[in-house]
Amino acid sequence: MAPAPAEPRIQMYSTDYFMACAVGGMLCCGVTHGGITPVDVVKCNMQIAPTKYTSIGSGFTLAIKEEGFRGLYRGWAPTLIGYSIQGAGKYGFYEFFKYKYSELAGAENAAKYKTLLYLGSSASAEFIADVGLCPFEAVKVRVQTQPGFAKGLADGMPKLIASDGFMGLYKGLVPLWGRQIPYTMMKFATFESTVEALYKYAVPVPKSECSGGTQLGVSFAAGYIAGIACAIISHPADNLVSFLNNSQTATVGQAVKEMGMMALFTRGLPLRIFMIGTLTAAQWVIYDSFKVFLGFPTTGSSGGDEDSNEGH
């Protein structure tokens, strides 16, 4: 029998609770996206210049040859800051909307249509979060795919505004929504459903009797499965975001025509599956570790044995 969980330091579903979830989201997204910058640099270059960056191995080799190891970390600052802002909105608003939509639906409907609840809550959260991410994503892509454009965020954002205007920072917002909203809907709904399935079929004891390490192991496994699913569903839009942010005049139609439908779905996909699978699993472990630190259970129901603090 696992020891009783620590008394939560913050009241569940209070403003402070949602703010704490936002801090957890900021930590998990900022740290993981910042740490995986080298993979992101190669992925973006494979999407923009596939004839030059023909494989994962050659992508890393060329990046190091052209700019040294520091070239693998181009764009780390806009990545770290942008995804910290996005993570705060994604996780904080997800918890908020999940609670509020559950209240509106009522306990019976919330339990009956929980997958729709996860989808609606995550879509609403990501819609808001991407407004904060978009300017930093625009700078990140330009810095990563155009060597010499800028050293990083401090000189890259003013230079992008000077060349494209302020609204150039938001040129990729609609494709970003197209990438991130389906991605996040898949991420949260798959994660929550996988957590429930793991506790129901794979873990021999109820969640309330599992150690913290076991619960975080479930979060990691469910996170990796969710990451693979959302990498696949959001990949075409990811290619569009990279293409549009790499050019001042590019349009969605031009991007689709120039890349071709097959490349839109497949270019850079294996690397992105590895990148997003690992990143998503790490995010859920960091986020749920933060929740455990505050005295709350890890995210996700456990079938018929839900913790009283997790029920809505």
Whether 310 maps to a domain, the answer reads: no
Tally of residues, the chain: 312
The predicted structure's pLDDT at residue 262: 86
The predicted structure's pLDDT at residue 4: 45
Distance CA 120, CA 129 (A): 14
DSSP conformation letters of 126-168: HHHHHHHHHHHHHHHHHHHHSTTS-SSHHHHHHHHHHHH-GGG
The predicted structure's pLDDT at residue 3: 42
Distance CA 214, CA 207 (A): 9
Distance CA 286, CA 243 (A): 31
Q: Contact at 8 Å (CB) between 240 and 175?
A: yes
Q: What is the CATH number of the domain that holds 120?
A: 1.50.40.10
DSSP conformation letters of 53-121: S-SHHHHHHHHHHHH-GGGGGTTHHHHHHHHHHHHHHHHHHHHHHHHHHHHHH-HHHHHHTHHHHHHHH
Residue with token string 């913790």 = 307
Whether 299 maps to a domain, the answer reads: no
Distance CA 101, CA 266 (A): 36
Q: Contact at 8 Å (CB) between 98 and 21?
A: no
Distance CA 31, CA 292 (A): 18
Whether 152 maps to a domain, the answer reads: yes
The predicted structure's pLDDT at residue 305: 43
Which residue segment(s) compose the domain that 46 sits in? 15-293
Whether 276 maps to a domain, the answer reads: yes
Whether 302 maps to a domain, the answer reads: no
How many domains are contained in the chain? 1
The predicted structure's pLDDT at residue 1: 41
The predicted structure's pLDDT at residue 308: 36
The predicted structure's pLDDT at residue 240: 85
Longest CA span, the chain = 62
Whether 155 maps to a domain, the answer reads: yes
Whether 308 maps to a domain, the answer reads: no
Amino acid of residue 1? M
The predicted structure's pLDDT at residue 212: 84
Distance CA 92, CA 129 (A): 10
Q: Contact at 8 Å (CB) between 203 and 214?
A: yes
Whole-model pTM? 0.81
Instruction: Give pLDDT < 50 ranges for the chain.
Output: 1-5, 302-312
Whether 303 maps to a domain, the answer reads: no
